[in-house]
């Protein structure tokens, strides 16, 4: 992976909490000349997020902020977003709920990936619930973030079949594969007012 500089790309921050496979995938895309974003900052709510290794590897500035004092911590994030001139925030497996105030500040500039076919299965444990309810299909959704959980305007969705043999783990794996295709596609589709 080689870093390209000097191109006019949307300055983007990625918020993570875990493995960071979506972050890694977006990073790889961002190094392509024609992909519209460059990742300039990473926020993680925990030092345990394995995805932080990609920020370290590619020398992307990052901050671990636990959001325990939400007002103080979000204000700190807002300062960082200003400092790094961030125009788009991608939530990629980020497990904290942002306040209405924060979302308002970045209105139309925060997008999230969710492992279900929204509006179905908002929130956590989507794959387990999908299997328990014997759904024939599931998938993933990229959407704008508004003040209601997993409820903002949908940008793109991908539908896949739930197999009779699926368990939450196998389903999560197959959905994640689709997430890696969908998130970059959704980013190419959106228009951000810079």
- For position 27 contacting ligand GRF by CB under 6 A, the verdict is no
Q: Which residue is nearest to ligand GRF (CB)?
A: 93
Nearer to ligand GRF, 164 or 169 (CB): 169
Cα 25 to chain centroid distance, Å, stands at 11
Taking the complex as a whole, how short is the minimal distance between the CB of residue 102 and ligand GRF, in angstroms? 18
Nearer to ligand GRF, 46 or 147 (CB): 46
- For position 18 contacting ligand GRF by CB under 6 A, the verdict is yes
Residues 154-193 touching ligand GRF, rule: CB under 6 A, are: 176, 179
CB-based contacts of 11: which residues, under 8 Å, 6+ apart?
37, 38, 40, 84, 85, 86, 87, 88
- For position 113 contacting ligand GRF by CB under 6 A, the verdict is yes
Name the DSSP letter for residue 173.
H
List the Cα angle 123/183/149 in 5-degree steps.
20
Active site (annotated) includes residue 114: yes
Taking the complex as a whole, how short is the minimal distance between the CB of residue 82 and ligand GRF, in angstroms? 26
Cis? peptide before 92, omega within 30° of 0: no
Residue given tokens 């599931």 in the structure block: 138
In angstroms and rounded to an integer, the radius of gyration of the C-alpha atoms of the chain is 16
Name the strand (E) or helix (H) holding 100. Answer: helix 100-105
Q: Which stretch binds ligand GRF (CB under 6 A): 20-28, 39-47, 66-74, 131-139?
A: 20-28
Taking the complex as a whole, how short is the minimal distance between the CB of residue 24 and ligand GRF, in angstroms? 8
CA distance linking residue 93 with residue 162, whole number of Å? 21
Nearer to ligand GRF, 36 or 51 (CB): 51
Catalytic residues: 114
Binding site for ligand GRF (CB under 6 A): 16, 18-22, 51, 92-93, 113-115, 176, 179
């Amino acid at each position: 992976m080689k870093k390209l500089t000097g191109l006019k790309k949307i300055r983007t921050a990625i918020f993570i909490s875990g493995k960071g496979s979506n972050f890694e995938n977006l990073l790889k895309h961002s190094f392509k000349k024609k992909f519209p974003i460059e990742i300039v900052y990473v926020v993680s709510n925990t030092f345990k997020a394995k995805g932080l290794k990609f920020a370290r590897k590619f020398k992307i500035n990052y901050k671990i902020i636990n959001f325990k004092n939400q007002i103080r911590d979000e204000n700190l994030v807002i300062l960082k977003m200003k400092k790094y001139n961030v125009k788009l925030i991608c939530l990629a497996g980020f497990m904290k709920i942002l306040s209405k105030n924060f979302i308002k500040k970045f209105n139309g500039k925060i997008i999230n990936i969710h492992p279900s076919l929204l509006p179905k299965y908002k929130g956590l444990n989507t794959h387990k619930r999908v299997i328990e309810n014997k759904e024939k299909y599931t998938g993933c959704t990229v959407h704008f973030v508004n003040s209601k959980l997993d409820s903002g305007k949908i940008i793109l969705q991908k539908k896949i079949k739930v197999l009779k043999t699926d368990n939450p783990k196998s389903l999560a794996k197959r959905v994640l594969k689709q997430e890696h295709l969908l998130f970059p596609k959704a980013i190419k589709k959106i228009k951000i007012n810079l």
